[in-house]
Chain A
Amino acid sequence: MRTGLTPLAAKQDEGREQGVWRRRFGSILTELAIWLPLSIAAGHVVLFTAWTTWVSFTASSLMPDYTWVGLRNYWAVTRTANFQIAYVNLLIFGFGFVLLTMALGLLLAILLDQRVRGENVLRTIFLYPLAVSFVVTGTVWSWLLNPGLGLQRVVQNLGWQDFRFDWLVQSDKAIYTLIFAGVWQGAGFAMALFLAGLRSVDADLVKAAQIDGAGPWRTYRRVLLPTIWPIFITVFVILLRSAITSFDLVRALTGGGPGISTMLPTLVVYDFMFQRSELGRGSAAAVLMLLSLVVVMAPYGLYVRWQRQRQARA
């Protein structure tokens, strides 16, 4: 048969065979590209999480030492003032940061959604803080909020002598300055997600609402916002995660001070591990932080699963 083929057809045949191989090789490559890094990354995370958990039950101090000591490190860590202050602060900072960021982000998104002129410029401005790292945000705000140099000084120099804004140096108020700086940085991100959500809503829905005589307030409240509510959950979860794992902002802005009044769980872990060289206690603090993340994330995971099941049933 082959002899009957014209040279051109033979070539085509060969080409087809090559194509099959290329495709097969390509698909192996794709598999490799996905699974190799994924398994390395997953192994990395799982392995080190397991190792840290193990170390947290041992007598490790300066160096890992695998003598089992049970829950001793956990008792020691949870009894320190640092740890207790850190978790109270996490509640204040977590709620304040997440709720205010979402509120401000939503407000900005709704305002921008009015097809204002110069929307692109405004959007860039609002998103800009996201391009700045938390360390920079923290440092800049530490100067802005410094009573002797920043806002307070400026307003006093303008003539309002009694103006006081010295939260940064007050033990009981410094935690709120973290919220300010955090909201400043995160609001643009929340806005971008909300705006994308608002724009993705079917225009017919909005028109239908308008035809039914709904005003803008009612349209947003009854039609637009309920439609994009999955975005609320996304933003909420992302912000909450960044609140719990927040480290650079507090380190640059207050350094945990004044005193130890703005400690956060991440700072406690860092402090025990890398400043005090108490690997066991540091690991215990890290495991407790992981558990607090699980407490927050588990309901979200369950919710997603429940929703998927409901959709499957429907």
Chain B
Amino acid sequence: MPITTRRRLLVGSAAALALPAFARAQSEAKPRITAISQWSAGSDGAAISALGKLFEERGGVWQHNPVPGFTTEMMNKLRAQIMAGDPPAISQLKGPEIAAWSKIAPTVDISPWVKTAGFADRVPAELAKSCQPGGHWIALPLQVYRINTLFMSTKGMQRAGVTKAPTSWAEFNDTAEKMKAAGMIPLANGGIRYDDGMKFEIALAGISPEVYRRAIMQLDTDALKGKEVLAAFEQLRKFASVMNPNIAAQPWAVNLPAFVKGDMGMVLMGGWAQGNLFKAGATLADFSSGPAPQESGPPCFDLNADCFIFWKPKGADLEAGQKLFAETVMQPSTQEMYSKITGSIPARTDVNLAAEGFTDGQRNSAQNLRDAIAKDRVVLSLGHNMAQPNGMTAAMIDVLTEYVHNSAIPAVEGQKRLVAAVAGAQ
């Protein structure tokens, strides 16, 4: 038995102390990425894990810190990290928040990498614009969802004797009445505020994408006071009258089992509802999806997208990691893989969705996006913080959610309050 002398002990512990430093020195060359996002569970969690695995396969070190909850929860973590002078190499961020946050901490100009990949012409212009607030790329879009998507319950349609999905709001209201008469709850909605905001934006985008762009995205007072916005408030009241009356503070997804059974008829929700439906035990035969009703012209595309912003890193390994990550994300195969898991459509419009693993709903949505780009009918989502920064969105949704839950407020009054809220938050 060897005798443990003091010297041996010293040498041993010194070696033990030096070991991690040695290991660190070795891994310094390895591209590394630190990331935060809100995607911790479900299909979102699975997709980001798959992306991390792909990154590791390409020789990178993947350090992802999910912050579950709403995007704002993730932003609070991001704020804390920026204030501490230690932002992650990349973080999830979207829409006008990219421009707002890029002012408070230095970002990386990734334009050269985007150029090399030939990525810029492949993504919708509205989306590309939000990723280059200072005229150069600092963020990359990962996936796109269509917000104005109508899901129809197959059993629900049979029960109410409905043969096709409605394509105008008048048809939608007729369908809802039929479902009501058949003893069903026509619209499976949630009780959380953004849900009410979404219902309004889907109504307005369906009435006129041009007015939506002026009123919601540019906050043009005349457009906000116009007859289209009033009509959207009236349609929102119709929605409220056919919603699940028993929903309190529960999310919309609690309705899905009833939707699959045919006790509820329709869901107006972004494309991610597909993933939730599969999770609730639905098969492709249980539902169909397509664009929400559109009053005039071909369907518009109410766009929600997830992006990653690139923060100025400390260390060569992180810089190398950012480059590797950007290259990975911009690849069509990565985008394809990601969208297959989450039910979204790729941010690159040239990805072929004919492949197995995509659904007809996703293919329809992707085609819708291409058409809408060609006809300039892409608008950005209000409820999902694409059209306006958080503060403005919240002020508008306050009005909308109050309007939905208080039938004593007439549409004219709702519109007035919306105009006032916009003025107050500016």
Q: Mark B352-392, 1 if CB is under 8 A from A, else 0.
A: 00000000000000000000000000000000000001110
Residues of B within 8 A of A260 (CB): 193, 398, 401-402
User: Which of B244-252, B282-290, B302-310 faces chain A?
Assistant: B244-252
A–B Cβ pairs within 8 angstroms, 9 of them: A63-B82, A142-B250, A146-B250, A166-B246, A255-B191, A255-B193, A257-B193, A274-B72, A275-B70
Q: Given known contacts A260-B398, A277-B390, what 10 new A-B pairs fall within 8 Å (CB)?
A: A61-B391, A79-B424, A81-B398, A148-B247, A168-B248, A255-B191, A256-B193, A257-B405, A274-B73, A275-B72
Chain A to chain B: the 10 pairs with minimum beta-carbon distance, closest first: A148-B246, A258-B405, A259-B405, A255-B249, A259-B402, A276-B391, A276-B394, A171-B406, A147-B246, A259-B401
From B400, which residue of chain A is reached at the shortest CB distance? A259
- Is the C-beta of B170 less than 8 angstroms from some C-beta in chain A? no
Q: Mark B220-264, 1 if CB is under 8 A from A, else 0.
A: 000000000000000000000000111111100000000000000
- Is the C-beta of B64 less than 8 angstroms from some C-beta in chain A? no
A-B contact count (CB 8 A): 101
- Would you give the shortest CB distance from A63 to chain B, in whole angstroms? 5
The number of chain B residues with a CB under 8 A from chain A is 38
- Is the C-beta of A90 less than 8 angstroms from some C-beta in chain B? no
Are A259's CB and B404's CB within 8 A?
Answer: yes
Q: Give the residue among A76, A171, A271 with the most B Cβ atoms within 10 A.
A: A171
Set B100, B389, B401, B421: member contacting A257, Cβ < 8 A: B401
Q: Is the interface of B mostly helix, strand, loop or mixed?
A: helix
Are A258's CB and B191's CB within 8 A?
Answer: yes
From B70, which residue of chain A is reached at the shortest CB distance? A275
Given contacts A63-B104, A277-B75, contact A258 B394 (CB under 8 A): no
Q: Give the residue among B75, B246, B395, B404 with the most A Cβ atoms within 10 A.
A: B246
Residues of A within 8 A of B75 (CB): 277
Residues of B within 8 A of A79 (CB): 424
- Is the C-beta of A80 less than 8 angstroms from some C-beta in chain B? yes
Given contacts A79-B424, A258-B191, contact A169 B247 (CB under 8 A): yes
- Is the C-beta of B403 less than 8 angstroms from some C-beta in chain A? yes
Kindly identify, within residues 73 to 94 of chain A, every residue whose CB is under 8 Å from any CB belonging to chain B. 76, 79-82
- Is the C-beta of A32 less than 8 angstroms from some C-beta in chain B? no
Are B391's CB and A169's CB within 8 A?
Answer: no
Q: Mark A151-172, 1 if CB is under 8 A from B, else 0.
A: 0000000000000001011010
Given contacts A168-B248, A258-B248, A259-B402, contact A277 B79 (CB under 8 A): yes
Q: Give the residue among B104, B245, B248 with the most A Cβ atoms within 10 A.
A: B248
Are A259's CB and B403's CB within 8 A?
Answer: yes
Given contacts A274-B72, A276-B394, contact A254 B248 (CB under 8 A): yes
Residues of B within 8 A of A148 (CB): 244-247
Q: Give the residue among A61, A81, A277 with the most B Cβ atoms within 10 A.
A: A277
Set B76, B192, B249, B395: member contacting A274, Cβ < 8 A: B76
